[in-house]
Amino acid sequence: MEALQASSLRASPLKPLQKPKLNIHFPNASRLVPRPTKKFSSITASSPTVSAPKREKDPKKRVVITGMGLVSVFGNDVDAYYDKLLAGESGIGLIDRFDASKFPTRFAGQIRGFSSQGYIDGKNDRRLDDCLRYCIVAGKKALEDADLGGDKLSKIDKERAGVLVGTGMGGLTVFSDGVQNLIEKGYRKITPFFIPYAITNMSSALLAIDLGLMGPNYSISTACATSNYCFYAAANHIRRGEAEMMIAGGTEAAIIPIGLGGFVACRALSQRNDDPQTASRPWDKDRDGFVMGEGAGVLVMESLEHAMKRGAPIIAEYLGGAVNCDAYHMTDPRSDGLGVSSCIERSLEDAGVSPEEVNYINAHATSTLAGDLAEINAIKKVFKNTSGIKINATKSMIGHCLGAAGGLEAIATVKAITTGWLHPSINQFNPEPSVEFDTVANKKQQHEVNVGKTLYPFLGSTPSLSIYLHFDGYGSSRTCVFCNSNRLVLVDSAISNSFGFGGHNSVVAFSAFKP
Calculate the alpha carbon distances from 145 to 45, 79, 213, 299 in Å. 46, 11, 17, 10
Residue 53 CA to residue 50 CA, distance in Å, equals 9
Calculate the alpha carbon distances from 420 to 364, 405, 424, 459 in Å. 21, 22, 13, 22
Is residue 447 flagged as an active site residue?
no
Is residue 400 flagged as an active site residue?
yes
Residue 310 CA to residue 301 CA, distance in Å, equals 14
- What angle is formed at CA 31 by the lines to CA 26 and CA 35, rounded to 5 degrees? 140
Residue 437 phi/psi, 5° resolution?
-115, 155
Longest CA span, the chain = 75
Catalytic residue selected from 131, 135, 343, 400: 400
Our measurement of the distance from residue 329's CA atom to the centroid of its chain's CA atoms, rounded to an integer in Å, reads 23
Our measurement of the distance from residue 364's CA atom to the centroid of its chain's CA atoms, rounded to an integer in Å, reads 9
Nearest to 284 by CA among 270, 266, 268, 274: 270
- DSSP lists the bridge partners of residue 217 as 163
SS (H, E, C) 72-85: ECCECCHHHHHHHH
Catalytic residue selected from 131, 135, 224, 401: 224
Our measurement of the distance from residue 112's CA atom to the centroid of its chain's CA atoms, rounded to an integer in Å, reads 21
Catalytic residue selected from 364, 423, 447, 470: 364
| Helix pair 226-239, 405-419: axis angle to 10 deg | 70
Is residue 470 flagged as an active site residue?
no
Contact 462, 435 (CB under 8 A): no
Contact 318, 307 (CB under 8 A): no
Contact 339, 500 (CB under 8 A): no
Catalytic residue positions, numbered: 224, 364, 400
